């Protein structure tokens, strides 16, 4: 229902006011294709009574929809991987969620990663700041870009994240949210930074980082990559301690992040685009041999090896040529003689090691097979 996103995300946000795909269904009810995942997760928790059971770590992955100009890594239908920690109030949960996002991207080999963090304080901190900020904005309204002028009475905090060069320059003299934070909020933010330093996760402080959604409190963060150019954000997240309560649930602190999969694929494209050479090519011929070969291929794939089983039934010479064309690291040969003796032959298969000694292994001898794999492939 459209109301879910208006309440959850905020009526003054760009997402709700400009980017949602909204329509009336046959019952004249206003429905919206989901533009993000957190509000939907909160709705599901409340509707199914799960929010009464605190301390849950959840994840989701699926399509989202926003009406915006398609560009590199940004489409109108896109996909997100999201993680939400529900019921966790400690700053340690902030650190864990940031570390999880950082490590996922690092393990995928994403280059030029930068973590930007900020604190938005609690709701009282922001209300105190907003009064001062709106007064300042009104006095400088004519110097702001048109979008920022329209946001003054709708979503003033979002102006801090303006990409307009002139507005950014003017904002250098604006009041700072950081100066309105309570001692408790400042201590929380200080602990966050200390724990990130202990984990050797480098970060940059960006006091203009507010994210585009109304529900954030305290920690907000983005992970960017220089490899993406101007559309550099690949992961964004933050704490939303008031959202579930605002939507009718209990007083439930929470924090989460989302990773855009299209941008992730763009970043990992160089890695994904390099074909992985076949680890083992199984050459086989004969009725019994072919049956044994299928079973062996299944066993070998349990070692996370890229195994190619030749299903052609062609001559050995043609199968050898295919193995060579795929640049297979090793080959297994199973013919009538091997099948009769319940064995197979295995050896490395490249120019440097072509003459290496061939090993004959019994189908029943898993230990000998595993030792060969560890020595040569694993």
The pLDDT-based confidence of 152 (bands split at 50, 70, 90) is confident
Helix, strand or coil, per DSSP, at residue 84: strand
Could you give phi then psi for residue 239, rounded to 5 degrees?
A: -90, 140
Residue 277 has pLDDT above 80, yes or no: yes
Segment 196-222 mean pLDDT? 87
Lowest mean pLDDT among 11-20, 161-170, 367-376: 11-20
* 141: DSSP letter: G
Which CATH architecture best describes the domain 2-122+182-272?
2-Layer Sandwich (3.30)
Q: What is the pLDDT of residue 267?
A: 82
Q: Domain locations in the chain?
A: 2-122+182-272, 280-376
What's the mean per-residue pLDDT of the chain?
88
Neighbours of 250 (CB within 10 A): 12
Strand ranges inside the chain, DSSP E: 21-24, 30-33, 56-65, 77-86, 113-119, 204-205, 217-225, 233-239, 254-260, 280-284, 307-309, 330-334, 343-348, 359-362
Residue 366 has pLDDT above 70, yes or no: yes
Q: What is the pLDDT of residue 193?
A: 97
pLDDT tens-place string over residues 289-344:
999 999 999 999 988 899 999 999 999 999 999 999 999 999 999 999 999 999 99
- Using a pLDDT cut of 90, give the percent of the chain over it: 56
Residue 147 has pLDDT above 90, yes or no: no
Please, are residues 334 and 284 in contact by the beta-carbon 8 Å criterion?
yes
321 versus 214: the higher-pLDDT residue is 321
> The pTM is what?
0.70
Residue 123 has pLDDT above 90, yes or no: no
Strands 280-284, 254-260: pairing kind? unpaired
Lowest mean pLDDT among 30-39, 66-75, 113-122, 364-373: 66-75
Residue 167 has pLDDT above 60, yes or no: yes
Please, are residues 136 and 175 in contact by the beta-carbon 8 Å criterion?
yes
Lowest mean pLDDT among 44-48, 159-163, 217-221, 374-378: 159-163
The pLDDT-based confidence of 229 (bands split at 50, 70, 90) is low
Among 207, 184, 233, which Cα is nearest to 74's? 233
Q: What is the pLDDT of residue 12?
A: 63
Strand partners, 345: 333, 360
Segment 228-250 mean pLDDT? 84
Q: What is the pLDDT of residue 213?
A: 58
Neighbours of 62 (CB within 10 A): 12
In CATH, which of 2.60.40.740, 3.40.50.800, 3.90.1150.180, 2.60.40.10 is domain 280-376?
3.40.50.800
Please, are residues 358 and 332 in contact by the beta-carbon 8 Å criterion?
no
> Following DSSP, what letter does each residue of 230-258 receive, concatenated?
TS-EEEEEEE-TTHHHHTTS-S--EEEEE
């Amino acid at each position: 229902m459209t109301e879910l996103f208006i309440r959850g995300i905020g009526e003054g946000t760009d997402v709700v006011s400009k980017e949602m795909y909204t329509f009336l269904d046959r019952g004249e009810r206003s429905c919206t294709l989901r533009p993000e995942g957190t509000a939907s997760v909160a709705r599901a928790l409340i509707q199914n009574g799960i929010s009464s059971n605190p301390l849950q770590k959840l994840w989701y992955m699926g399509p989202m929809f926003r009406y915006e100009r398609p560009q590199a890594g940004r489409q109108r239908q896109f996909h997100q991987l999201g993680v939400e920690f529900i019921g966790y109030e400690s700053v340690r949960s902030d650190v864990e969620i940031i570390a999880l996002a950082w490590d996922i991207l690092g393990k995928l080999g994403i280059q030029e990663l930068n973590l930007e963090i900020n604190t938005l304080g609690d709701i009282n901190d922001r209300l105190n700041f907003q009064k001062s900020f709106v007064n300042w904005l009104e006095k400088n309204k004519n110097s702001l870009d048109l979008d920022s002028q329209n946001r003054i009475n709708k979503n003033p905090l979002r102006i801090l994240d303006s990409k307009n060069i002139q507005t950014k320059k003017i904002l250098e003299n604006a009041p700072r949210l950081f100066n309105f934070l309570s001692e408790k909020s400042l201590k929380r933010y200080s602990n966050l930074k200390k724990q990130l330093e202990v984990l050797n996760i480098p970060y940059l402080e960006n006091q203009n980082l507010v994210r585009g959604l109304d529900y954030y409190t305290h920690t907000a963060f983005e992970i960017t990559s220089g490899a993406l150019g101007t559309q550099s954000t690949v992961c964004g997240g933050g704490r939303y301690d008031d959202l579930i309560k605002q939507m009718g649930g209990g007083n439930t602190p929470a924090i989460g992040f989302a990773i855009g999969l299209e941008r992730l694929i763009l970043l990992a494209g160089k890695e994904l685009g390099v074909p992985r050479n076949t680890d083992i090519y199984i050459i086989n011929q004969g009725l019994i041999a072919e049956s044994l070969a299928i079973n062996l291929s299944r066993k070998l794939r349990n070692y996370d090896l890229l195994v190619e089983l030749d299903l052609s039934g062609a001559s050995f010479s043609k199968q050898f040529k295919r193995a060579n064309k795929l640049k297979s690291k090793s080959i297994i040969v199973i013919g009538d003689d091997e099948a009769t003796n319940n064995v197979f032959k295995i050896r490395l298969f490249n120019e440097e090691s072509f003459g290496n000694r061939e090993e004959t292994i019994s189908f029943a001898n898993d230990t000998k097979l595993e030792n060969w794999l560890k020595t040569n492939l694993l």
